[in-house]
Amino acid sequence: MNIKPERATINDIDALVQMRLDYLTEDYGSLTDEQIIKIKSSLPDYYRKHLNKDLLVYVARKPVIAACCFLLISEKPANPSFINGRTGNVLNVYTKPEYRKQGIAKKLMEQLIAEADELGLDYVELKSTDEGYRLYKSLGFSDEQSKYHSMRRTSRAHSKGCFAKKF
């Protein structure tokens, strides 16, 4: 398979919105109509603000976008774990069902990793499903061991199904 990963552009926003919704539907099992409406309305603006700035999206076309993966770049105060202060988080690795098991996600991830190295990111992290675990291990990702507990607090606005105020 001759797939050349490329970066998504502003012209891909509609397709990226659909890919994200497909990914989320598969990941969560289903989405409510209200969730779909809210996500669909917020994503285009998000992509316009972040695409090819702190969000790099790699796509494979056949000729439509068959697969994608996102690299969200964060800058933090440096510490011994991220001396440059720049890290990456992989999100939304998704291949449409009819294009799976062809090595497309691997090629996209290899491009993402190469660019993360060129950008000097201290590390790239991700959360893996069972289905993706072997792929990520083969690309050099390892299970994280930490003395810290991964924790999260959901905002009240989110738990009520509302959007938080913009700042």
β-bridge mates for residue 165, sequence order = none
More confident residue, 157 or 10: 10
- Per DSSP, the three-state class of 11 is helix
Instruction: Decide if pLDDT at 159 tops 90.
Output: no
Is residue 13 within 8 A of residue 44, CB to CB? The reply is: yes
Task: Please state, in angstroms and rounded to a whole number, the distance separating the CA atoms of residues 124 and 72.
Answer: 9
Instruction: Decide if pLDDT at 150 tops 90.
Output: no
Instruction: Decide if pLDDT at 27 tops 50.
Output: yes
- Per DSSP, the three-state class of 91 is strand
Q: Identify the pLDDT of residue 68.
A: 98
More confident residue, 152 or 121: 121
Q: Decide if domain 6-142 falls under CATH 3.40.630.30.
A: yes
Task: Please state, in angstroms and rounded to a whole number, the distance separating the CA atoms of residues 1 and 64.
Answer: 15
- Per DSSP, the three-state class of 142 is coil
Task: Please state, in angstroms and rounded to a whole number, the distance separating the CA atoms of residues 66 and 15.
Answer: 10
**Four-residue CA torsion sign, 160, 155, 130, 22:** positive
β-bridge mates for residue 7, sequence order = 58
Task: Select from 75, 96, 77, 78 the least CA-distant residue to 87.
Answer: 75
Q: Mean pLDDT across the stretch 124-133? A: 94
pLDDT single digits (tens) 44-94: 999 999 999 999 999 999 889 999 999 999 999 999 989 999 999 999 999
Percent of the chain with pLDDT over 70: 93
**What's the predicted TM-score (pTM) here?**
0.89
Question: How many of the other CB atoms lie within 10 Å of CB of 36?
Answer: 14
More confident residue, 147 or 13: 13
- What confidence category does residue 167 fall into, taking pLDDT thresholds of 50, 70 and 90? very low
Q: Identify the pLDDT of residue 152.
A: 86
The domain spans of the chain are: 6-142
